[in-house]
Amino acid sequence: MFRVSLKVTGAQGQGVNSVGEMCAKGLKRAGYCLFGYREYMSLIKGGHSSFQLDVSDEQIESSETQVDILVCFNHHGLERNALEVKKGGVIIHQTPQWKFPYDVQKSLDDRGVTIVNLPSEEILQKIKAKPMLGNVLITSVVWSILGRSADDLKDLVREQFGHKGEKVLEMNFQCIHEGFDFVQGMKNEELRMKNAVQLPEPDVRWKDHLLITGSQAMGLGLLHAGCRMYCGYPMTPSSPLLSFIAEMQNETGMVIKQAEDEITAAQMMSGAMLMGTRAATGTSGGGFDLMTETLSLNAIIENPSVFVLAQRPGPATGLPTWTGQGDLLLAIGSAHGEFARCVVSVSDAQDCFDVMPDAFNIAEKYQTPVVVMTDKQIAEALYTQSSYDQKKAKLDRGLLVTDPKALKKLKSADRYDPAAKDGISPRWLPGAEAATYCAQGDEHSGDGSVDETAKNAVEQMEKRMKKMQAMEREMPEPTIFTMDSSSGKAVSCQLSAVSDIDLLVVSWGSNKGPILDVLKAESRKLKAIYLHYTYLWPMKTERLKRLMSKAKRTVLVECNHGGQLGQVIQLVGGPAIEDKILKYDGRPFFVDELCSKLIAHSS
């Protein structure tokens, strides 16, 4: 697989993201698949952040540890990231008279890395441009090195800044000319860099794709699902979802509430669901801890509810702007009492959209809480995504009664009827002309009257837990991905299509991207398949067991310390996966890093 990567580093607020995003947009339109990865610190200005863009003509959803082009807004990038540049790569920086320590310089020389000092300040002064335009200047240098045309970049700039007037636009264009002139006029020894970074042949299929973050995709997914209310409290990495749908509210008509705390957000969502709309709340681990009492409440009042849990590494504030998968056991085991719940996880921009209608359907069908897991990597990564299928999702509101005639026939005691099939009793809404009931947080009989008798306690517990069995029966097994070595693509397949394999990889969430990228790239060398868990609770292990018997080796891949998916599999009596690749440094798996680990584990 041919891939090129570009990493822009700098202090937060310097424009790292805007350079990255502009390059991403331009390259996607030119016919490339991109994957954008952000690293930043929990502060607003300063610090050290980066935006990495991996580019290919084929589908990619991962980053490399090594890059072809490194752009350094300030000297921190030169200090920290210089050795991440590949053989024959380029470093573009704007720190005058910069000198690497001897050993670093030697290593860069040995690898034939070209170092370019762009005198941004000088150029900007010469054309009397504001320092802010340095972003456009840098972008144009990168753009020129990638062999793209100045006109393409101008189109992008016009799109972004056109509303600011011709004068501003003209200044931007001048910066673009200066950037291109700079690359053209470089000294002889730097000339070789012009050929150092070559993009693969473009593929037109990417042109119509969307460039979208997981949070934006999830926002569209919520809208698609008919979610009409969202209540949240800001917390990375769930905040971008709140920001996105809040920004959209005037167009969508959604009720958006930034609540005073996570308890409020969860309670408001629950109240709104009881009233009959589709509402969601989102948070990260610490906020989810606060929401768990409400999760338990929704279980006993049998109220559909949707909680988005965007993971970052803990405990406590932990690594607030980094990624991890340490909250699976939290999602499954949190909140007091025993009750039926569903836990699902998204893995990329496709899932972020597809899973949301499903989450609401499950919540309404089983009248119980659903936790949708994501993580910082998915929430903030930039995906190249095909246009979404608007026909696939169906609205399933379960046993919601709205027909006036049917409403008239209801008795109060039908609401929590312990004899209901699969424990799922009819639900109807305040305002409906029918017998009324109490959504009762105390143990209750059919109509929601408090009933503490032993007989009733048993009946109602069993009623609610029957929903777990029904869910277990109806939830899909994990998805099998196999590599088609002729096309180099990952395709999902049935169990029966799998013959003997060398390596079975088992994982969930954002690891899917790098795992599939590795298996695709190594499909000739590595006879491997990937088993991906979207539905994590109720946990299903039958397919896993069958696959493990066909595989020489099985390896669990997770971004946590305990191998929590493996623990959950064993919790329900599934097989133990001894071989594990675990990572808990706040970073996602990088494709080259995971490749060498998987190869090591395959023999």
Partner 1 sequence: MSIPLDSSSAKKMHAYHCANQCTWCDGCGDYGIWTAVKRSLVESGIAPHQVLLCYDVGCHGNTSDKLLGYRFHGLHGRVIPFAAGAKLANPKIPVLAFGGDGASFSEGVGHLVHGIRSNYPMTFVLYNNGNYGLTTGQASSLTQQGQPMNSSPNGIPEHTLNAMDFVFSLEPTFVARAWSGDIAMMTRVLKAAIAHRGFAFVDILQACPTYNYFATHEMLLERCYDANTEGHKPVDAAKARHLAMDTSKRIACGILYQCEDIPSFYERLEPRRGRRTTVAEEVEIVDTGKWERMFQ
Binding to partner 1 (CB under 8 A) within 420-459 occurs at: 429-434, 436-442, 444, 447-450
- Alpha-carbon span 259 to 488, nearest angstrom: 47
Contacts for 511 with CB less than 8 Å, ≥ 6 apart:
325, 347, 557, 558, 559, 588, 589
Q: Which two tokens stand for residue 103?
A: 């050993």
Give min distance, CB of 103 to partner 1, in A: 44
Which CA distances in Å does 423 have to 59, 306, 363, 468? 44, 20, 14, 9
Type of residue numbered 505:
V
Give min distance, CB of 263 to partner 1, in A: 6
Nearer to partner 1, 64 or 358 (CB): 358
Nearer to partner 1, 154 or 553 (CB): 154
User: In the set 93, 257, 365, 527, which binds partner 1 (CB under 8 A)?
Assistant: 257
Type of residue numbered 122:
E
| Ranges within 505-524 binding partner 1 (CB under 8 A) | none
* Of residues 450, 452, 406, the one with CA closest to residue 429: 406
Tokens 């990567």 identify what position?
Answer: 5
Q: How many residues bind partner 1 (CB under 8 A)?
A: 75
- Alpha-carbon span 85 to 189, nearest angstrom: 18
User: In the set 53, 115, 229, 381, which binds partner 1 (CB under 8 A)?
Assistant: 229
Nearer to partner 1, 129 or 241 (CB): 241
Q: Which residues pair with 369 in a beta bridge?
A: 305
Give min distance, CB of 218 to partner 1, in A: 12
Contacts for 104 with CB less than 8 Å, ≥ 6 apart:
82, 83
* Of residues 209, 179, 238, the one with CA closest to residue 375: 238
Q: Which two tokens stand for residue 435?
A: 């017998």
| Ranges within 283-342 binding partner 1 (CB under 8 A) | 293-294, 297, 301
Per rule CB under 8 A, is residue 261 in the interface with partner 1? yes
Query: Which of 188-196, 218-226, 370-378, 568-576 is the region at the interface with partner 1 (rule: CB under 8 A)?
Result: 218-226
User: In the set 249, 453, 485, 487, which binds partner 1 (CB under 8 A)?
Assistant: 249
Nearer to partner 1, 201 or 452 (CB): 452
Task: Write a three-state SS string for 509-551.
Answer: HHHHHHHHHHHHHCCCCCCEEEEEECEEECCCCHHHHHHHHHE
Helix axes 454-474, 349-366, angle to 10 degrees: 150
Per rule CB under 8 A, is residue 387 in the interface with partner 1? yes
Per rule CB under 8 A, is residue 410 in the interface with partner 1? no
- Alpha-carbon span 373 to 558, nearest angstrom: 14
Per rule CB under 8 A, is residue 253 in the interface with partner 1? yes
Per rule CB under 8 A, is residue 156 in the interface with partner 1? no
User: In the set 47, 200, 234, 271, which binds partner 1 (CB under 8 A)?
Assistant: 271
Per rule CB under 8 A, is residue 367 in the interface with partner 1? no
Check if the beta carbon of residue 53 is closer than 8 Å to that of residue 6: yes
| Ranges within 338-357 binding partner 1 (CB under 8 A) | 357
Contact letters for partner 1, residues 15-44 (x by CB under 8 A): --------------x---------------
Nearer to partner 1, 273 or 568 (CB): 273
Per rule CB under 8 A, is residue 260 in the interface with partner 1? yes
Check if the beta carbon of residue 589 is closer than 8 Å to that of residue 518: no
Nearer to partner 1, 245 or 506 (CB): 245
User: In the set 83, 150, 168, 263, which binds partner 1 (CB under 8 A)?
Assistant: 263
User: In the set 255, 399, 475, 599, which binds partner 1 (CB under 8 A)?
Assistant: 255
Give min distance, CB of 32 to partner 1, in A: 14
Give min distance, CB of 343 to partner 1, in A: 22
Give min distance, CB of 130 to partner 1, in A: 27
- Alpha-carbon span 574 to 544, nearest angstrom: 8
Tokens 């990619």 identify what position?
Answer: 60
Sign of the C-alpha dihedral, residues 55, 60, 66, 72? positive
Per rule CB under 8 A, is residue 97 in the interface with partner 1? no
